[in-house]
């Protein structure tokens, strides 16, 4: 080596080492891992899984950290003291990243302090739907292995404490046992969309139903309606299982699969979705994806998406199910993150169908009200009355029918505003129009209304004076209801 070159190299090495130190003399912290995004697959050849687990935290909800090994988790922003939420997407026909996933992650992190892990299995979910179904078992095993690493991380991070046991510990502290403080199975919440809901169910099955919660957002129907309990989502897969059904007549499953099953607007034909095939892709997917958008809205807004157990949607609309007493003892379930959906009874019943109505766009929530009309005298024919609630800029209508030889008809109306903001009610006696002569049919009766759930008669408000209705002639009455 030429004279002086060694000294110059040594000096340069020392300068670089000094620059790597902070002003305090400590070694500078390692740089933050790069963000990882979802993969894009070729829909003609995407059958291999190539699963990615992307961790998101509230400090940077737009940056996914790739976590595969236990060492990745230990060096990441994963917080063992928080709950963990896994998001599993469904079938991706074109092999692209789900368009809703970024908003879902951001909204979830704003709504709760948790570790959010998105499961990217775009490669295994694209191309042929049946191939994606075949990958469900493989993916479930991969997720189960990943969860076992989370449980293992809790053991490896020194999170132990000494808890004396009265029957075993003496004054010297000997014979005491160590209790583990790590990630527990009950802190895991899986949110699965479409096919991803059944993936979550299978993972829960592998963990013998001890995971904390599984939420299925319109669980897939094709290939699963007649599947065994081991192959699909069911109430035995977690301590609390819920499902939101929005497309039971096409892409979603039509049977209940959880402890609580929300059949939104009856479970099909969501308001605001196209009803004709010429709308193209939106016609195919709108109802199915409404469950995702409803859930995001529930996380974003305070207005409740509350539902009511009933034998059928028709019976619910007819006003037969108003108070959630059977089987939930008055605790009506709500879509969102509230514990057990707001149901406060143990043990939980299984496969309870609950119903609610929504509007056509976010925030989707409505206030359900019972409406009743009591005839002064019985009639020898059915009596149909259109009831319309009017508030500032908004109207909602429902038709109620009083059967022949009966005095009372009732129904449920959904309105975006609470009852105290409704200014008027419009009542219209509906009879077939007759071109050749004017129909002079008239009835007299009393109109009453109450917000759901109706747990007692104190909520019921009736118009004080009897209402006289002429055929096809609307009558307007003021509603004066105090806000709670």
Main-chain dihedrals φ then ψ at residue 213, nearest 5 degrees: -160, 145
User: Are 323 and 376 within one domain?
Assistant: no
61 in a structural domain: yes
CATH code (residue 407): 2.60.60.20
State whether 114 and 230 are in the same domain. yes
Is 273 within 8 Å of 291 (Cβ atoms)?
no
Which of 323, 356, 389 is at the close of a domain? 356
Does 348 lie in the same domain as 402? no
Domain carrying residue 349: 52-157+182-356
pLDDT at 279: 73
Answer yes or no: is 266 within a domain.
yes
Phi, psi of 344 (to 5 degrees): -115, 35
Single pTM value for the model: 0.87
Domain-terminating residue out of 356, 377, 392: 356
Q: What are phi and psi of 53, to 5 degrees?
A: -110, 115
Q: Give the residue from 142, 145, 147 showing the smallest Cα distance to 50.
A: 142
Do residue 245 and residue 319 come from a single domain? yes
For residues 190 and 212, is the Cβ–Cβ distance under 8 A?
Answer: no
Instruction: Name every residue whose Cβ is closer than 8 Å to that of residue 316 and which is 6 or more positions away in sequence.
Output: 308, 310, 355, 412
Show pLDDT as tens, one digit a residue, over the chain (484 residues). 444 433 333 333 333 333 233 333 333 344 445 899 999 987 665 567 899 999 999 999 999 999 988 888 888 899 999 999 999 999 999 999 999 999 999 999 999 999 999 999 999 999 899 999 999 999 999 999 999 988 866 554 443 322 333 333 333 333 333 233 368 999 999 999 999 999 999 999 999 999 999 999 999 999 999 999 999 999 999 999 999 999 999 999 999 999 999 999 999 999 999 988 877 888 889 999 999 999 999 999 888 899 999 999 999 999 999 999 999 999 999 999 999 999 999 999 999 999 999 999 999 999 999 999 999 999 999 999 999 999 998 999 999 999 999 999 999 999 999 998 999 999 999 988 766 667 788 999 999 999 999 987 778 999 989 999 999 899 999 988 887 7
CATH of the domain at 94: 3.40.50.1820
Q: Indicate if 373 and 329 belong to the same structural domain.
A: no
The sign of the CA dihedral 316, 322, 328, 334 is positive
- Residues that are catalytic: 194, 218, 288
Tell me, yes or no, whether 393 and 467 share the same domain. Answer: yes
Whether residue 330 is found in the same domain as residue 390: no
**Is residue 25 situated within a structural domain?**
no
In a domain, 164, yes or no: no
In a domain, 174, yes or no: no
In a domain, 16, yes or no: no
Q: Are 166 and 154 in contact (CB under 8 A)?
A: no
Do 451 and 414 sit in the same domain of this protein? yes
Is the domain of 287 the same as that of 373?
Answer: no
Structural domain count of the chain: 2
- Say if residue 226 is in the same domain as residue 285: yes
* Residue 171 included in any domain: no
Domain assignment of residue 170, yes or no: no
Query: Could you tell me if 462 and 335 lie in one domain?
Result: no
Same domain, 348 and 375: no
Of 356, 375, 394, the position where a domain reaches its end is 356
């Amino acid at each position: 080596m030429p004279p002086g070159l060694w000294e110059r190299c040594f000096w340069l090495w020392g300068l670089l080492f000094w620059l790597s130190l902070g002003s305090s003399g400590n070694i500078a912290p390692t740089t933050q891992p790069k963000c990882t995004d979802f993969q894009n697959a070729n829909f003609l050849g995407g059958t291999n899984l190539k699963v990615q687990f992307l961790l998101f935290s509230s400090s940077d909800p737009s940056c996914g950290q790739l976590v595969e090994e236990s060492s990745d988790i230990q060096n990441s922003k994963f917080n063992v003291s928080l709950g963990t939420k896994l998001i599993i997407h469904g079938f991706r026909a074109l092999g692209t990243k789900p368009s809703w996933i970024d908003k879902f992650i951001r909204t979830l992190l704003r709504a709760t302090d948790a570790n959010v892990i998105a499961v990217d299995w775009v490669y295994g979910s694209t191309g042929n739907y049946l191939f994606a179904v075949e990958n469900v078992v493989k993916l479930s095993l991969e997720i189960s292995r990943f969860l076992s690493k989370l449980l293992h991380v809790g053991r490896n991070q020194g999170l132990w404490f000494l808890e004396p046991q009265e029957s075993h510990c003496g004054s010297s502290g000997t014979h005491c046992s160590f209790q583990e403080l790590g990630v527990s199975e009950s802190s895991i919440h899986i949110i699965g969309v479409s096919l991803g809901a059944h993936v979550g169910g299978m993972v829960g099955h592998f963990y013998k139903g001890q995971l904390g919660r599984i939420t299925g957002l319109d669980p897939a129907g094709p290939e699963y309606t007649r599947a065994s309990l081991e192959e699909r989502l069911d109430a035995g897969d977690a301590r609390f299982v819920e499902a939101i059904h929005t497309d039971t007549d096409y892409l979603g499953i039509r049977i209940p699969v959880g402890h609580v099953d929300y059949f939104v607007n009856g479970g099909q034909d969501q308001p605001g979705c196209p009803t004709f095939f010429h709308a193209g892709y939106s016609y195919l997917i709108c109802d199915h994806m409404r469950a995702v958008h409803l859930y995001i809205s529930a996380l974003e807004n305070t207005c409740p998406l509350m539902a009511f157990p009933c034998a059928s949607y028709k019976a619910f609309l007819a006003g037969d199910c108003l108070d959630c007493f059977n089987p939930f003892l008055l605790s009506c379930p709500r879509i969102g993150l509230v514990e057990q959906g707001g149901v406060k009874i143990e043990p939980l019943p299984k496969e309870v169908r609950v119903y609610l109505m929504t509007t056509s766009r976010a925030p989707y929530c409505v206030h359900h009200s019972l409406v009743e009309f009591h005839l002064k005298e019985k009639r020898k024919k059915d009596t149909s009355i259109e009831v319309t609630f009017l508030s500032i800029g908004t109207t909602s209508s429902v038709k109620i029918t009083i059967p022949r030889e009966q005095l009372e008809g009732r129904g449920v109306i959904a309105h975006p505003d609470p009852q105290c903001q409704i200014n008027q009610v419009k009542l219209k006696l509906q009879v077939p129009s007759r071109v050749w002569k004017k129909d002079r049919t008239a009835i007299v009766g009393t109109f009453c209304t109450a917000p759901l759930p109706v747990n007692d008669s104190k909520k019921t408000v009736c118009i004080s004076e009897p209402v006289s209705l002429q055929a096809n002639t609307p009558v307007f009455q003021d509603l004066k209801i105090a806000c709670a």
